[in-house]
Amino acid sequence: MDREKVQIFDTTLRDGEQVPGCKLDTGQKLIIANRLDQMGVDIIEAGFPVSSPGDFLSVVEISKIVKNAIVCGLTRAVKNDIDVAAQALKYAKRPRIHTGIGTSDSHIIYKLNTTRKDIIERAKYAVSYAKSFVEDVEFYAEDAGRTDNEFLAKVCEEAIKSGATVLNIPDTTGYCLPEEYGAKIKYLKENVKGIDNVILSCHCHNDLGMATANSIAGAVHGARQIECTINGVGERAGNTALEEVVMIFKQHPYLNLYTDINSKQLSEMSRLVSESMGMMVQPNKAIVGANAFAHSSGIHQDGVIKNRSTYEIMDPLDVGVNESSIVLTARSGRAALAYRAKKVGYELTKVQLDIVYVEFLKFADIKKEVVNDDIHQIIECCKIQSEL
């Protein structure tokens, strides 16, 4: 079976930037958009142009500089939103309008105070109106995760008839389980007329920590676009993390799915977004966290020193990290200490190692992490006491 490509739709600059306190200015957005383009992202969602003059300007400027990716602007299913988005995207080489409306009963009753029939009419109007400006129109069925499949299929079918090229199935509230979300995509694949002529897209939020798992389940069942953000930033608990999706496809080739992302740029991209937004990446964050390739317990360190594959499933170089690290703590064993001592210039015999290890443990019980300077100090002290 031939491998199939999953398009990466990055929404760091739109859904990601909705995070309180993470506002980016146009200059910062241009730097990030340019790097996303170079890294191989297929679609950059540059903003929600009607939301503010600043966001409008950012979409205009990003449209001018992006060379390869499709540049996308978000709208509600509202005429003025679509007019403004079309205007903002007019310099884009490959523009896309992303329009849509809530389809779950909760959204229809409480947010929009209307009926299912009206939702279908508004969806049809929005897609065909957007289509009068651009060829590429993506339709989102907001809160599709909690929308019953039969109604969702009906809305999707009408969106296709009205000219949608991509159908986005957001789990807006991060409610679904992977099996459920995968089954939803499968249901749409099997029950919507014309579905094979459009791309199905996963847009999953992380309220239950399922965003990446749900997106992968969607792709396994036929979705060929995943919407995600760098470091998983986004509303509430965030969106699917781009770096996780990319590495999952890379590390599991039997899925026969791939992306065009240059994974060696992931680490640097993560740092850029984190610093620009002033939003720290948690140290245990998969792929890009400071501890993602750090080993600190004695048993793990011993294994990794003997053979990396014992405790590492990825080559750190593949994500742009030079090497994995052996962190020396009070949980480290002799193997790790000997390894580090050798790196800083001391070849210890077994007897010497036993002596230094005793001093090392005393030190490590006080200090959280023992660094190279500490190793020098410990060994030199042992020498002075003529123990070595």
Q: Provide, rounded to whole angstroms, the least separation between the CB of residue 192 and ligand KIV.
A: 19
C-alpha span between 232 and 54 (Å, rounded): 23
Residue 81: which H helix or E strand, with range?
helix 79-88
Residue 15: which H helix or E strand, with range?
none
Q: Which residues pair with 167 in a beta bridge?
A: 139, 200
Q: Are 301 and 333 in contact (CB under 8 A)?
A: yes
Q: Does position 122 bind ligand KIV by CB under 6 A?
A: no
142 binds, among Zn ion, ligand KIV, none (CB under 5 to 8 A by kind): ligand KIV
Q: Does position 225 bind ligand KIV by CB under 6 A?
A: no
Q: Which residues pair with 294 in a beta bridge?
A: 325
Convert residues 8-47 into a mask of x (bound to ligand KIV by CB under 6 A) and - (unbound).
Answer: -------x--------------------------------
Q: Provide, rounded to whole angstroms, the least separation between the CB of residue 205 and Zn ion.
A: 6
Q: Does position 139 bind ligand KIV by CB under 6 A?
A: no
What is the separation, in whole angstroms, between the first and last Cα of the chain? 62
Q: From the list 96, 124, 146, 203, which residue makes contact with ligand KIV (rule: CB under 6 A)?
A: 203
C-alpha span between 36 and 24 (Å, rounded): 15
Q: Which residues pair with 44 in a beta bridge?
A: 10, 71
140 binds, among Zn ion, ligand KIV, none (CB under 5 to 8 A by kind): ligand KIV
Nearer CB in complex with Zn ion: 15/61: 15
Nearer CB in complex with ligand KIV: 95/170: 170
Contacts of 197 (CB under 8 A, 6+ apart): 160
C-alpha span between 1 and 240 (Å, rounded): 27
Nearer CB in complex with Zn ion: 95/238: 238
Residue 27: which H helix or E strand, with range?
helix 26-39
Q: Does position 140 bind ligand KIV by CB under 6 A?
A: yes
48 binds, among ligand KIV, Zn ion, none (CB under 5 to 8 A by kind): none
Residues 158-177 that bind ligand KIV (CB under 6 A): 168, 170, 172
Q: From the list 42, 55, 142, 157, which residue makes contact with ligand KIV (rule: CB under 6 A)?
A: 142
47 binds, among Zn ion, ligand KIV, none (CB under 5 to 8 A by kind): none
Beta-carbon-side half-sphere exposure of residue 10 (alpha carbons within 13 Å):
33
Residues 3-32 that bind Zn ion (CB under 5 A): 15
Greatest extent of the chain over all pairs of C-alpha atoms, in Å = 88
Q: Which residues bind Zn ion (CB under 5 A)?
A: 15
Q: Which residues bind ligand KIV (CB under 6 A)?
A: 15, 140, 142, 168, 170, 172, 203, 205
